[in-house]
Structure 1
Amino acid sequence: MSMLKSLAGGAVLFLALAGGLRAEVTVSHSNNPAAAAEQGLLSLMFNEKNALSGVTSSRVAALTKAPKSKSKKVNSDQLACLSQVLYHEARGEGRKGQKAVAEVVLNRVDDPAFPDTVCGVVYQSNRRGCQFSWTCDGKSDKIREEGAYARVSEVARNMLLGEERSLTDGATYFHTPAVKPSWSRKFTRTAKIGAHIFYSAPSRRTATK
């Protein structure tokens, strides 16, 4: 039997099986290898159809259902606030320097002496002024460097998702070397990273994550 005829015969039988018709497949006693292979293929197709017919609709739905996404989400407001402070305070720093500033903000969130949200920490003010000067200096806070903002936003997102805080040893304050605030003499210096020096208040040091 030619290959073309074999394929045609197999297609006809497959269509018959798909339509629900019953067919008895017998084992060929021919010594023709091609004929034996054809019989084996048809038998396999018949058995496969019978096996599939036993699968329940609920099982099919379970097998074809897309898996649930395991990606974590962050609060969009908190992400925006952390991205803003990284942009205004550390956009010129490398990733390590930006992450260190993010640690300070998140360490403050964990410290009872500060507000318990990122936005609360960033925009906290008191009679002495603002914690971060850019939040109350009267100047526009408009983002003008989109590329820099995208980079700090990635750092902010990773930190909010739980990236390890291992750079500043629980620091809750920082300043640039260009200034020397009076409080820096009373606090414990924990690190110098990039253009910032980091400190923690001795009376309320927080554990790093």
Structure 2
Amino acid sequence: MLIFKQSRCIALLVSVILVSFSAISLMNPEGSAATGENVIEMGKLKSVSHTAAEAIVPGTKSAIHRTSASSSTIIPMLYTTAAEPVHTWARMVSAGWLSPEKLQRQNAVKKGTAEPKAKVTVVKATPSAAQALKKAAKGTTSVNKVKAATQQHPPATLFFSRTKLLSQEQQAEATWSYAVSEEDLLLLQKIVMAEAEGEPYQGKVAVANVVLNRLRSANFPDTIHDVIYQKSQFSPVANGRLKRVKPNADSIKAVNAALMGVKEVTDDTYFFLSLTLAQDLTVHHSRTLLKTIGNHTFYK
């Protein structure tokens, strides 16, 4: 007591130690007996195997550690495997090719869909409109007949009035007729080829029209042969080209069309020439120009 009285620091230190022990005793009221109980509990755990420990806490692993080299107390250490997730989510993505059967089914479904029907309105034609349609149909039919005939065989007989070449349907109006021989037909095809080989199809028909117009006119010879071979009229006759040429398909077709009544120039057209090739331009200066087709200029 005398020492405590002499040193207050020692007294304070002792009091602090006493307070600490009292606090420890309050937290563990069993005191020194707790140590023995703990040893007993650890002894019970010695008989627990690893499998039993894992059964107590699922998803855990057990490990046995010794507290010290001299102590025989075994303390099981339980821990969870944090690296392995308990639930594993797997995203399944399914992909597949369309089989031909599936495609056929899809096409069948598309074809089976009903399409809306369009409304059809019927308009009745007036009597005047109906007559106009009939006339147009007749005109189309006649043109088609002429085209079909020109592609097959030309007529064997030509019919003329005083002013024009008539069609086969107009033969009742004819003032005279002309029988076309094989020689006439070949000469007509050759003169068209010789004069208009490089010209368009309409130009070939127009050359044949000029020959037939001269045949009809009283101012020229009365046969196709004489019209073509008339002196100083067609340059291919003078230079011999007429004998050398062989008619092509366009020339034959153009002659057949002209014989059937197709006209690219009027019935009063009797002359034609090429302004770039002709050496004598008397016709150009003395006659009336009617039409130009390709390189040829036609006059009456």
Partner of 1:105: 211
The one-character-per-residue Cα deviations of 1:61-109 (angstroms, maximum 9, x if unpaired) are: xxxxxxxxx9843521111111011110001112101011111111111
Partner of 1:64: none
Going from structure 1 to structure 2, the CA distance change for 1:166 and 1:183 (only over 3 Å counts) comes to closer
Partner of 1:83: 189
Partner of 1:152: 251
Partner of 2:33: none
Going from structure 1 to structure 2, the CA distance change for 1:71 and 1:112 (only over 3 Å counts) comes to closer
Deviation, structure 1 residue 171: 1.0
Q: Structure 1: how far apart are the matches of 2:217 and 2:261?
A: 18
Going from structure 1 to structure 2, the CA distance change for 1:71 and 1:78 (only over 3 Å counts) comes to closer
Partner of 1:183: 283
Say if 2:272 and 2:297, in contact at 8 Å, map to a contact too: yes
Deviation, structure 1 residue 138: 4.6
Q: Structure 1: how far apart are the matches of 2:211 and 2:192?
A: 10
Deviation, structure 1 residue 151: 2.0
Structure 1 position 133 matched with structure 2 position 235:
yes
Give TM-score, length-normalised by structure 1.
0.53
Q: Structure 2: how far apart are the matches of 1:198 and 1:168?
A: 10
Going from structure 1 to structure 2, the CA distance change for 1:72 and 1:111 (only over 3 Å counts) comes to closer
Deviation, structure 1 residue 169: 5.4
Say if 2:213 and 2:269, in contact at 8 Å, map to a contact too: yes
RMSD: 2.4
Q: Structure 1: how far apart are the matches of 2:185 and 2:252?
A: 7
Q: Structure 2: how far apart are the matches of 1:71 and 1:102?
A: 13
Q: Structure 2: how far apart are the matches of 1:199 and 1:170?
A: 9
Structure 1 position 122 matched with structure 2 position 228:
yes
Q: Structure 2: how far apart are the matches of 1:97 and 1:192?
A: 9
Higher Cα Rg: structure 1 or 2? 2
1:94 to 162, 180, 200: 200
1:171 to 269, 275, 289: 269
Q: Structure 2: how far apart are the matches of 1:190 and 1:108?
A: 16
Stretches of structure 2 lacking an aligned partner (at least 5 in a row): 1-152, 157-179
1:47-86 correspondence to structure 2 within 5 Å: 72-73=155-156, 74-86=180-192
Say if 2:288 and 2:299, in contact at 8 Å, map to a contact too: yes
Deviation, structure 1 residue 133: 1.4
Say if 1:100 and 1:168, in contact at 8 Å, map to a contact too: no
